Amino acid sequence: MSSSNPSRPSMGGRLLSTFLNRPINDHGSGWSSLWDSGESDLWDRGKASPALVDIVEQETQLLNPFTVEGHRKKAFVPGCGRGYDVVMLALHGFDAYGLEISGTAVKEAESYASKELKKPSEYHFGSKSNQARSPGSVTFLKGDFFSSNWNFKGDVDQYTKFDVAYDYTFLCALHPEQRKNWAASMARVLKPGGLLLCLEFPLYKDPKLPGPPWGLKGVHWNLLSEGGDGIITNDVGDDGKEAHSIRSDGNFCRVLYVRPERSYNAGKGTDMLSIYERKTD
């Protein structure tokens, strides 16, 4: 998303006008049209998430890319855009998969990945020691995250369960009425015990204001831990929890919640990095 102030993205303009009067069930075509018209610079950050790079390199046990049997774990990024984070996860040892609703986005992601896997950019790593890791594979899929009708490739089908998933600006791009479907779909695609990493953004924006992006303060906790609908009406504390909340009916439990030292300029100083574990059924 572009802005005259590099520390905060614009809340108006082209994004709002694209979705203002569009039916919610037709928002996917709206994002596809923006890709097709070459307007992905409205939200494109141009590199892998610094916060994700750091947490993967710091939490080496929690985010080990290999199982105890030595098999590569599968990492998944729905709404992956050009695939910056997909490639980064592969360069850190995961077999990484990205999903996009736009065929144009998938083609651009595949082109980007083919170049970066041969000669990775420095932004994929926080330290040079991690550049020696044997990379995993990269696969991009076209489809709607809320259905299982994806353009399957290789060892991925509608029954595949991932070990790790990552969300940055996918949830905030969704209309609030779609948030519960987002949480249910994340639970569907992750293995029991699988990890959902969220770079929570934007937390500074009033959730009552229109989007995208939609303000998300307290939304991740409500959706994933409480099993709510993600429509926040009560006061929310600094830890993302609604005041006086004791519910724990969601499909996830939060195992980590930190303010990243590095993040994109758009949310630096307000972004939070959370990790949620998928509960066993």
Q: Give tens-digit pLDDT for 174-217.
A: 999 999 999 999 999 999 999 999 999 999 999 889 999 999 99
**CA-CA distance, 46 to 165, in Å (whole number)?**
20
**pLDDT tens per residue, range 69-83:** 999 999 999 999 999
Token pair, residue 105, equals 């986005």
**CA-CA distance, 9 to 201, in Å (whole number)?**
11
Please answer whether residues 138 and 113 qualify as being in contact, where contact means their C-beta atoms are separated by less than 8 angstroms.
yes
Q: Which of 23-27, 216-220, 257-261, 270-274 has the lowest mean pLDDT?
A: 23-27
Chain position carrying tokens 């590099």: 6
Q: What is the 3-state secondary structure (H, E, C) of 201-220?
A: CCCCCCCCCCCCCCCCCCHH
Between these two residues, 39 and 67, which has the higher pLDDT value?
67
**pLDDT tens per residue, range 243-254:** 767 678 899 999
Give the fold, CATH level 3, of 44-278: Rossmann fold (3.40.50)
Provide the pLDDT confidence category of residue 35 given band limits of 50, 70 and 90: confident
Q: Say which amino acid occupies 230.
A: G
**pLDDT tens per residue, range 83-100:** 999 999 999 999 999 999
**CA-CA distance, 198 to 171, in Å (whole number)?**
9
**CA-CA distance, 146 to 194, in Å (whole number)?**
19
Q: Would you say residue 233 has pLDDT above 70?
A: yes
Q: What is the 3-state secondary structure (H, E, C) of the chain?
A: CCCCCCCCCCCCCHHHHHHCCCCHHHHHHHHHHHHHCCCHHHCCCCCCCHHHHHHHHHCCCCCCCECCCCCECEEEEECCCCCHHHHHHHHCCCEEEEEECCHHHHHHHHHHHHHHHHCCCHHHCCCHHHHHCCCCCEEEEECCCCCCCCCCCCCCCCCCCEEEEEECCCHHHCCHHHHHHHHHHHHHHEEEEEEEEEEECCCCCCCCCCCCCCCCCCHHHHHHCCCCCCCCCCCECCCCCECCCCCCCCCEEEEEEECCCCCCCCCCCCCEEEEEEECCC
pTM reported for the whole predicted model: 0.92
Q: Which of 9-13, 210-214, 226-230 has the lowest mean pLDDT?
A: 9-13
Residue ranges per structural domain of the chain: 44-278
Provide the pLDDT confidence category of residue 41 given band limits of 50, 70 and 90: confident
Q: Say which amino acid occupies 102.
A: S
Report pLDDT for 59. 96
Q: Which of 109-118, 152-161, 165-174, 188-197 has the lowest mean pLDDT?
A: 152-161
